[in-house]
Copies of this chain bind each other. A is one copy, B any other.
């Protein structure tokens, strides 16, 4: 195992970025200068998003393999680009690394990042690497492109628009509960074998989310331009409220239409948790939530893997979920994960 200080910052970056070849025409210069140089195609807008992942509040290396962490760190950034109806092109990677990490550790992390980049056609074009006093910090900025008329914000939803969400909800949250439970069970035990049988999907959703490029491509193929779109990172409720606020509209969704996987339901039962709450507030699903005009309903039939969950209303109706029995309307609340009120984050 090699100590990172033996390579120095420039040596480490050279080793990590060795053999990286740009796949995007718009990548003119990548790693190795003061800046990366990009040349978007004429007429294209440039999309920029940034996300930080900190050891502790965001991930626990006792059960998150570094390779998965690298993959996920990239995936969540790509998800933001797709959520604007764009295509991700480049990322820059900032790493803060504490003394307990070796060169091999960081290579594993980078392998995961490179895999996600390869799969989604993204170039690693720059970054910054420095010593951290505590744990691992990852800060990724993703640059994407989109035709100006394709760019989809949170602010275009109109009353009578239909609300769709891709995939299913709550599984990543259940995966996290499962990993935390096995971590507690394994405490102090040597050769502990965690039991994930029948719950592999939950683990996969937590550790290795996939950004929904396929949905963005399917919408384009179907000729449907969403009126608004957002990715589900903090939970469906929170994201729906963002759309309602930005678009100045209200919404109704149906509890019995929330897409939930069988494994999620089983886990909720085991944990004695309300399943709809998990689906609404779980977070980290990285699915796409979007609205389309009522007139696009027929065209939407060719888009696979999405679910019609409700409709947009006038703003004075507020945002609410119609319960399974159709009897009550529960106001939606942003009870998602609050990254600034992490009770497990005391000053060290």
Question: Of all chain B residues, which has the CB nearest A241?
Answer: B10
CB-CB contacts of A132-167 with B at 8 A, as 1s and 0s? Answer: 111101010101101010010111000000000000
Smallest beta-carbon distance A156→chain B, Å: 11
Which residues A28-81 have CB closer than 8 A to chain B? 28-29, 32-40, 42-43, 45-52, 54, 56-58, 80-81
Report yes or no: B83 in contact with A342, Cβ–Cβ below 8 A. no
Give chain B residues whose Cβ lies under 8 Å from the Cβ of A38.
Answer: 45-48
Report yes or no: B35 in contact with A148, Cβ–Cβ below 8 A. no
Confirm or deny: A125 has a beta carbon within 8 angstroms of a beta carbon on chain B. yes
Q: How far is B51's CA from A141's CA once the two chains are assembled, in angstroms?
A: 11
Report yes or no: A48 in contact with B83, Cβ–Cβ below 8 A. no
Copies of this chain, tallied across the complex: 2
Report yes or no: A131 in contact with B36, Cβ–Cβ below 8 A. no
Chain A residue total in the interface (Cβ 8 A): 81
Question: Of all chain B residues, which has the CB nearest A146?
Answer: B37
CB-CB contacts of A1-14 with B at 8 A, as 1s and 0s? Answer: 00011011100100
Report yes or no: B131 in contact with A341, Cβ–Cβ below 8 A. yes
Smallest beta-carbon distance A104→chain B, Å: 15
Report yes or no: B342 in contact with A131, Cβ–Cβ below 8 A. yes
Smallest beta-carbon distance A227→chain B, Å: 14
Confirm or deny: A346 has a beta carbon within 8 angstroms of a beta carbon on chain B. yes
Question: Of all chain B residues, which has the CB nearest A48?
Answer: B36
Report yes or no: A141 in contact with B50, Cβ–Cβ below 8 A. yes
Give chain B residues whose Cβ lies under 8 Å from the Cβ of A24.
Answer: none
- Given the contacts A37-B45, A153-B29, A139 and B54 also touching, CB distance less than 8 Å: no
Give chain B residues whose Cβ lies under 8 Å from the Cβ of A340.
Answer: 4-5, 7-9, 12, 97, 129-131
- Given the contacts A52-B94, A345-B98, A130 and B339 also touching, CB distance less than 8 Å: yes
Q: How far is B133's CA from A93's CA once the two chains are assembled, in angstroms?
A: 21
Which residues A299-348 have CB closer than 8 A to chain B? 338-342, 345-348
- Given the contacts A46-B46, A134-B134, A346-B133, A338 and B84 also touching, CB distance less than 8 Å: no
Report yes or no: A128 in contact with B8, Cβ–Cβ below 8 A. no
Smallest beta-carbon distance A287→chain B, Å: 13
Q: How far is B345's CA from A223's CA once the two chains are assembled, in angstroms?
A: 54
Report yes or no: B54 in contact with A133, Cβ–Cβ below 8 A. yes
Q: How far is B57's CA from A129's CA once the two chains are assembled, in angstroms?
A: 12
Confirm or deny: A230 has a beta carbon within 8 angstroms of a beta carbon on chain B. yes
Confirm or deny: A99 has a beta carbon within 8 angstroms of a beta carbon on chain B. yes
Question: Of all chain B residues, which has the CB nearest A231?
Answer: B34
Q: 5 shortest A-B CB distances, which residue pairs?
A: A5-B341, A139-B139, A35-B47, A141-B141, A34-B83
